[in-house]
Every structure is written in structure tokens, then in C-alpha cells.
Amino acid sequence: MNPLNKIIFLSAFLASGFLLILLSCALYNSYKPLWVILIFLLAPLPNILAQAIENSRDDFLTFNNNEGDRPSPFLEFCKSFTGFLIVSGIALPLTFYHTGLIELGSMVMSIIGGLIVYGDIIVFIWFFSENEEENDDFNF
């Protein structure tokens, strides 16, 4: 599968996720589920930040690696914060439905839409890093 097809399919999925969330707001005339978009867009961010920091830290030549191969506390905090954000994205529409602020259909549509958006971003990062490793033959 060439990269162009991947990008087209992924953008179509991303658009359908956004469409579901926007429909869940517009059909029921209550714009509270829009927060789900923000939460699921923020959810992959801690892991990206942690990876960038871990890659930029060169601990082999500076002799600062006195903890072996153990992941740093910041990395673990980012991981647990990712778990917190994913469950928050699902729990926010559930809370809104339970407290009577949005309807049942709005809840289901916003949860499915949010999960599509998040899965799409994760798959995009996965494809992207896979391509990077394939082309990494000559520049060490």
C-alpha cells in the first residue's frame, strides 16, 4: 500500500470521526460534546513529547545513566496521563448523559467519533514511524 493511499484513507476516517462528533452536537442542539474532540486530540500528545525528550537525551556518552534501562519517571507520568485522557474522553459523554445534559444518541455518536479520531491519530503515527525506519539505512 503506497503512502498516498494510506494518507487518503486516514484523512477520510478522520473526517468521519469529526463528522460524527459534530452531528452529535448539531442534531441534538447541545454543543457540550465538542469537548470530546479536544480531549482526544490532546491524548496522543504526552507520548509524542516523551518520545521526543527521550530521543534527544543522549545518556550513553554523558555517563548519566545510573538507572540501567529503567524508563524515567517523566516517561511513566506521560503514559499514565495518556490513559487518563483516553478514559476521560469516554467518561465525559457518559457523565453528560447520566446527568441529563445530552441525549442517548448524542452520547453514542460522540464516543464512537472520539474513538475514531484517536485511533486515526495513533495509526497515522504508527505508519509514519514505520516509514522512517525503512528509510533509515544511511543516516545513522
- If the CB atoms of residues 11 and 80 are measured against another protein, the closer one turns out to be 80
> Shortest CA distance to 3 belongs to which of 137, 133, 130?
130
> Shortest CA distance to 93 belongs to which of 42, 23, 21, 27?
21
Rule CB under 8 A: say whether 60 interacts with another protein: yes
Neighbour-count burial for 95-134, b at 16+ CB within 10 Å, e otherwise:
ebbeeeebbeebbebbbbbbbbbbebbeebeeeeeeeeee
| Backbone dihedral angles phi then psi of residue 72, each to the nearest 5 degrees | -75, 160
Q: Which of 11, 57, 65, 128 is close enough to bind another protein by CB under 8 A?
A: 65
Residue identified by cell 556518552 is: 61
Rule CB under 8 A: say whether 138 interacts with another protein: no
- If the CB atoms of residues 69 and 136 are measured against another protein, the closer one turns out to be 69
Number of residues interacting with another protein: please give it, by CB under 8 A.
27
The three grid cell numbers given for residue 33, joined into one nine-digit string: 460534546
- Least distance to another protein from the beta carbon of 80, Å? 3
CB 70 within 8 Å of CB 60: no
Rule CB under 8 A: say whether 104 interacts with another protein: no
Rule CB under 8 A: say whether 129 interacts with another protein: no
| Segment near another protein (CB under 8 A); pick from 7-15, 80-88, 110-118, 129-137 | 80-88
Q: Which of 3, 31, 34, 98 is close enough to bind another protein by CB under 8 A?
A: 98
Contacts to another protein by CB under 8 A = 60, 63, 65-66, 68-71, 76, 79-88, 91-92, 94-95, 98-101
